[in-house]
Chains A and B, each alone.
Chain A
């Protein structure tokens, strides 16, 4: 996997070397029809919901439903009213804080467990390591949709119902397998010789892990970390099932269950909530696009 990833990064950094090898055989009009036009349609379709979300979030209510006098694709009198309402008249800031705390805690817990597990499976090679590695992969394939009912029973019996710990402890069920699997690939790419040298110099396993393996796998840790954070930020079914009271909810659940009143849809506030709830992961994503892509494709390529 590491080789594939390096090749991929090399290509994106130096496209002039070996990419689009025979692109020159295509004439420009042909390229417009086969490449640029479809790409334009794809980009418009993929981005339109975000545009629509943004424009609705800053649109005053009287413009929002008056399609006869105002072109819906544009906004004449932009307003921050919906965002003000969201931040000051609802529990939204609390949901944001909950989501940040829960995602961060679940990510750190999972990453910690995953680093040890991946190192043990990949490098300690204890007896049965291969089987354990396979079991971790299979655990990754168990979807939350079939676990949430028994987990809700467990969460209730453990007295965790309606507390952040219900989510912090259950999110690792999908984060640990993913992070472990990803980190195993990174650890595999670190040469054995480095560890052997350290062993000869009298380093303990703990020193090897903290002084050699971890510093070398920082990119992998970042990939796994931001991916795990995004997954916990986006999680819905556990948060919907295990959290009852409004002040403990996470953003996705809060927006859907608290901002949607029975008959009147506050579309402006809903869209503002969706927009602000998406921003943190989008900002994180924009800083670490390469890590993000490599962890996504890395998990599949193994």
Chain B
């Protein structure tokens, strides 16, 4: 039984060491990112859910009180108003952002002079800190010295100043307009990137077949753009749904809670009011909506794979 074990012995150990080191190295390389995310993202996510079941206040650790926070919120008219506001805000702002953003993308996709210049300045509202541009909107919406009111009065379109942020309906429209202003560039530029990947030859072929401009858009542009529309709008909906800054600057939820979103209500109850448990419960109540948006994104991606002929 003279097996040449001496020659064979080191070989499998190198192979297994390689396989091992792949995982060991991978673990080592993942460590900084994983540590940061586990400590400051995953753990707080769990802690938030836990806090929602306690009566924690600022400066006082709470005890487990079951679903009392949620029962309280269930009967709280202001909470339901904030849910309604959030949905109204998200849906109307997203529809406007999509329509106007797609329009702008289609315009920018034309053969324009100074095209990259236009693309660069169009993105500006998205680059500038939201809070700072919101402060500019605050001044534009000023009840006494609003430039919009002044301009409309000069043109003779209205005969008294618009109370932009003082009236519930106006305030809702105003914050939605400001959000749309900031969101159009993101939608337009990402959709433009999608448009630029559509081969011109498809349009030429469709034109030879006698397609009208509307048919070109409906049967060439739209189907090829659907996957990127799905993803862009999922991101847009996510960011709009969890918006906080714009409302906090412009109205702080007022007048009479007409513009309170779930995020601002959560801040008001949790941080300003000190009821951390209740604030966390409001934040947790946002999660189902976010999951719905993420699932939407997931199916958008699936469809993209299918359109490209499957595969990875």
Q: Which residues of A contact B (CB under 8 A)?
A: 4, 7-8, 11-12, 15, 18-23, 25, 31, 35, 38-39, 42-43, 45-47, 49-50, 52-53, 56, 64-65, 67, 72-73, 109-110, 112-114, 116-117, 119-121, 124-127, 129, 132, 136, 138-139, 141-154, 169-170, 172-173, 176-177, 180, 205, 230, 233-234, 236-237, 240-241, 251-253, 255-256, 265, 267, 270-271, 273-275, 277-278, 281-282, 285-286, 289, 292-293, 296-297, 300-301
Contacts and interface: CB of A to CB of B under 8 A. Distances in A.
A50 B136 contact: yes
A53 B129 CA distance: 13
A150 B48 contact: yes
A151 B107 CA distance: 43
B25 A126 contact: yes
A46 B139 contact: no
Chain B residues touching A, majority SS: helix
B23 interface: yes
A20 B37 contact: no
A205 B127 contact: no
Nearest to B185: A46
A126 B118 CA distance: 44
A126 B26 contact: yes
A300 B231 CA distance: 7
Contact of A300 (B181, B232, B242): B232
A7 B135 contact: no
Contact of B238 (A53, A114, A143, A148): A143
A43 B45 contact: no
A270 B131 CA distance: 11
B242 A146 contact: yes
A151 B46 CA distance: 11
21 contacts: A4-B197, A19-B200, A22-B203, A47-B121, A49-B140, A112-B32, A126-B26, A146-B45, A146-B283, A146-B284, A146-B287, A149-B279, A153-B56, A169-B40, A234-B128, A237-B263, A241-B271, A278-B129, A281-B127, A289-B119, A297-B193
A228 B111 CA distance: 32
A205 B18 CA distance: 12
Contacts of B29: 116-117, 119-120, 124
Contacts, number: 298
B207 A22 contact: yes
B140 A52 contact: yes
Nearest to B34: A117
B132 interface: yes
Interface size class of B (residues with CB under 8 A): 35 or more
A289 B189 CA distance: 12
A170 B44 CA distance: 11
B244 A236 contact: yes
Given A116-B33, A292-B123, A20 B111 contact: yes
Interface in B18-77: 22-23, 25-27, 29-34, 36-37, 40-45, 47-48, 51, 56
A6 B156 CA distance: 51
B270 interface: yes
Which of A65, A117, A180, A240 has the most C-beta atoms of chain B within 10 angstroms of its own C-beta? A117
B139 A56 contact: yes
A14 B145 CA distance: 47
Nearest to A297: B193
Contact of B294 (A124, A141, A151, A252): A141
Nearest to B262: A145
B286 A296 contact: no
B137 interface: yes
Contacts of A38: 103, 107
B171 interface: no
Nearest to B231: A300
Given A52-B139, A153-B56, A285-B127, A7 B132 contact: no
| 8 A-B pairs closest in CB distance | A20-B111, A126-B26, A120-B29, A117-B33, A21-B200, A143-B242, A297-B193, A252-B131
Interface of B: 22-23, 25-27, 29-34, 36-37, 40-45, 47-48, 51, 56, 100, 103-104, 107-108, 110-112, 115-116, 118-125, 127-133, 135-137, 139-140, 142, 144-145, 147, 150, 181, 184-186, 189-190, 193-194, 196-197, 200, 203-204, 207, 228, 231-232, 235, 238-239, 242-245, 248-249, 262-263, 266-267, 270-271, 276, 279-280, 283-284, 286-287, 290, 294, 297
A43 B119 CA distance: 10
B30 A116 contact: yes
B286 to A, nearest CB: 6
Contacts of B185: 46
Contacts of B103: 38
A274 B294 CA distance: 34
Contacts of A270: 135, 139
Given A72-B150, A154-B43, A236-B244, A138 B294 contact: yes
Given A35-B112, A172-B36, A271-B139, A124 B22 contact: yes
Contacts of B267: 148, 237, 241
Given A116-B29, A237-B244, A42 B122 contact: yes
Contacts of B248: 236, 240, 256
Contact of B190 (A39, A153, A236, A297): A297
